[in-house]
């Protein structure tokens, strides 16, 4: 369980050729502990940049990001690494390592966090059962369907028992039936483990079936924020 607070967060990028982009402008929002929060917006709206702020992969140009009361700008080194272990991430293109088995992929974050081999084996087996891939441990990702790959991605993301799961267009490469299955899996991640989830998507049906509350971003600004039914009832 973790609470995320963004206060007046702005982020601008200037490329080598001098092109300036305001990716986020004065964004203030809270993600409450244990909720599923949707971030909606077109391509280029700033959704991924916002996610990368929560993971401390990007720093705000101004404003602050707090996770459980800790300002991420004040954290570095080992402490930051530990905080990142408490945040899992899933991706549109799954980001699995093709040279490794399903087991090997899910074991990576556990190895990085210093788990012992025996504990890793037990943990990975449990995770595979949870995501419904108990028979795929020693298969390479290229043998899996898109939905199965995302199940591996989710197992890897929650392996370290994170408090927060960040989902960046996790269903955008999947067909509607598979999308519904992954939505159901994300919901059970939230319900069974109390993991706070931030879901970035441009698919309105995904947020409407998954999120408790949502924000709509447009050109780096929050243009709507509230309970999902309220957001969806706006024209």
- Rounded to a whole number of angstroms, the minimum distance from the CB of residue 45 to ligand ADP is 4
- Assigned token pair, 204: 């309105």
Q: How far apart are CA 227 and CA 96, in angstroms?
A: 34
Q: Indicate the pairing of strand 20-31 with strand 4-14.
A: antiparallel
Q: Give the nearer residue to ligand ADP in terms of CB position, either 114 or 138.
A: 138
Q: Give the nearer residue to ligand ADP in terms of CB position, either 65 or 107.
A: 107
Q: Give the nearer residue to ligand ADP in terms of CB position, either 79 or 116.
A: 116
**Is residue 113 classed exposed, middle or buried when 0-12, 13-18 and 19+ CB atoms within 10 A define those classes?**
middle
Q: How far apart are CA 149 and CA 106, in angstroms?
A: 11
- Rounded to a whole number of angstroms, the minimum distance from the CB of residue 171 to ligand ADP is 15
- Rounded to a whole number of angstroms, the minimum distance from the CB of residue 21 to ligand ADP is 4
- Name the site residues for ligand ADP (rule: CB under 6 A): 13, 15, 21, 23, 41, 43-49, 100-101, 103-104, 107, 138
**CA-closest candidate to residue 87, choices 135, 39, 52, 35:** 52
**CA-closest candidate to residue 150, choices 175, 170, 164, 172:** 170
- Rounded to a whole number of angstroms, the minimum distance from the CB of residue 193 to ligand ADP is 24
Q: Give the nearer residue to ligand ADP in terms of CB position, either 30 or 172.
A: 172
- Chain mean position to CA 200: 8
Residue number with the shortest CB distance to ligand ADP? 104
Span between the terminal Cα atoms of the chain, in Å = 33
Q: Give the nearer residue to ligand ADP in terms of CB position, either 44 or 132.
A: 44
Q: Give the nearer residue to ligand ADP in terms of CB position, either 15 or 177.
A: 15
**CA-closest candidate to residue 198, choices 75, 72, 67, 26:** 67
- Rounded to a whole number of angstroms, the minimum distance from the CB of residue 227 to ligand ADP is 22
- Rounded to a whole number of angstroms, the minimum distance from the CB of residue 157 to ligand ADP is 17
């Amino acid at each position: 369980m973790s609470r995320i607070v963004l206060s007046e967060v702005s982020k601008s990028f200037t490329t080598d050729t001098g092109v300036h982009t305001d990716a986020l402008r004065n964004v203030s929002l809270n993600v409450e502990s244990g909720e599923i929060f949707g971030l909606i917006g077109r391509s280029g709206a700033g959704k991924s940049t916002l996610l990368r702020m929560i993971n401390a992969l990007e720093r705000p140009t101004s404003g602050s990001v707090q996770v459980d009361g800790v300002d991420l700008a004040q954290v570095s080194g080992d402490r930051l690494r530990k905080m990142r272990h408490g945040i899992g991430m899933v991706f549109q293109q799954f980001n699995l390592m093709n040279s490794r088995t399903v087991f090997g992929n899910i074991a990576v974050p556990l190895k990085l966090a210093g788990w012992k081999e025996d504990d890793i084996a037990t943990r990975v087996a449990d995770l595979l059962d949870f995501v419904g891939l108990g028979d795929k441990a020693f298969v390479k990702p290229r043998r899996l369907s898109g939905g199965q790959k995302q199940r591996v991605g989710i197992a890897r993301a929650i392996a370290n028992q994170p408090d927060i799961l960040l989902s960046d267009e996790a269903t955008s490469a999947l067909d509607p039936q598979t999308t519904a299955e992954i939505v159901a899996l994300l919901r059970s991640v939230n319900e069974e483990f109390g993991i706070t989830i931030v879901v970035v998507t441009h698919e309105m049906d995904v947020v409407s079936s998954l999120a408790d509350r949502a924000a709509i971003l447009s050109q780096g600004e929050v243009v709507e924020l509230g309970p999902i039914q309220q957001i969806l009832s706006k024209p």
